[in-house]
Structure 1
Amino acid sequence: MEKEPIKSHEDLEVYKMAFDVAMKIFELSKKFLVEEKYSLTDQIRRSSRSVCANLAEAWRKRRYEAAFVAKLNDCESEAAETQTWLKFALQCNYLNVETGRELYETYNRVLGILVNIIKNPSSWLIKR
């Protein structure tokens, strides 16, 4: 069975994974304390969504390797930042250990894919 060709960033497995986990974080963060609204809640939502937004930008910059890789590096940074916020949420008892571990591991998978693309960008680039 052949895979469908990738036509947009939304077809990328890494994008789908990052989007799904960002939506889980959004739902879970609705239960964070109200005093966290402008700190932890806002930050974890922003960084998790930024992974997806930067992936969309990277996809559109595939004509230029340096620009493509730079945006992927931004994705990587945002994913790692989200992991840090997840640790804070766990330590503050806003997430249970199992949920925190699951979300953190999803970001490990996202990071692994991003690092592989960053190391080997040529197959992703639009040939001129």
Structure 2
Amino acid sequence: MERPKVRSYRDLLVRKAAMDIAVDCYAATKSFPASELYGMASQIRRSSASIAANIAEGYGREQTGSFIQFLRVAQGSLKELETHTIVFGRVGLLTNEMVAVLLSKSDDLGKMLHAMIRSLQRKAEE
């Protein structure tokens, strides 16, 4: 089966997965108390949105080295998101079920980012 042609960063499956996690994070934090809106809710929302934003920005640089660097920044934001998710679960702001869902999706996205970085590195070495 042939993969669809990537014409834009919007076509990247890794970016679509990152967008899905960001949407999930916004939905999960809607139930946070108002006192956390600018604290913990903001932290998880910003880190989740940053993943997709860095993928898009790196793609837009049109240089493999820059794209790889931005994918690494996205990996860092993903680790930040995972940490916030665990903390919010431990303090009772997220249910155990939501923590499990977000961490599972984060694991999948992390594997996608890692595979994309390795693929781009191999192509750059050719």
TM-score under structure 2 length normalisation? 0.89
In structure 2, the partner of 1:82 is 81
1:123 to partner: Cα distance: 6.4
Structure 1 runs of 4+ aligned residues shifted over 3 Å read: 122-125
Gaps spanning 5+ residues in structure 2: where? none
Deviation of 1:19 after TM superposition, in Å, equals 0.4
Provide TM-score, normalisation by structure 1.
Answer: 0.87
Change in Cα spacing, 1:93 to 1:11, as seen in structure 2 (3 Å) is same
Partner of 1:105: 104
RMSD: 1.7
Cα 1:10–1:4 change in 2 (3 A) is same
Once the two structures are TM-superposed, the CA of residue 44 in structure 1 deviates from its matched residue by 0.4
The answer to whether the 8 A contact 2:68-2:120 is kept is: yes
Q: How many Å apart are 1:66 and its aligned residue?
A: 2.4
Unaligned residue ranges in structure 1 (runs of 5+): none
Aligned residue identity for 2:20? D
Q: Distance in 2 between matches of 1:80 and 1:59?
A: 21
How far, CA to CA, are the matches of 2:2 and 2:117 in structure 1? 25
Distance (whole Å) between structure 2 residues aligned to residue 26 and residue 43 of structure 1: 11
Paired position in structure 1 for 2:10: 10
**CA offset digits 1:39-95 (Å, max 9, x no partner):** 2110100000000100001111232x3211111111000011000110111112122
Residue aligning to 2:60? 60
Q: Are 2:41 and 1:41 aligned?
A: yes
Q: State the number of aligned residues.
A: 124
- What is the rounded CA distance, in whole Å, between the counterparts of 1:55 and 1:82 in structure 2? 15
Whole-Å separation in 1 of the counterparts to 2:17 and 2:110: 11
The structure-2 alpha-carbon separation of the partners of 1:13 and 1:27, relative to structure 1 and needing over 3 Å to count, comes to same
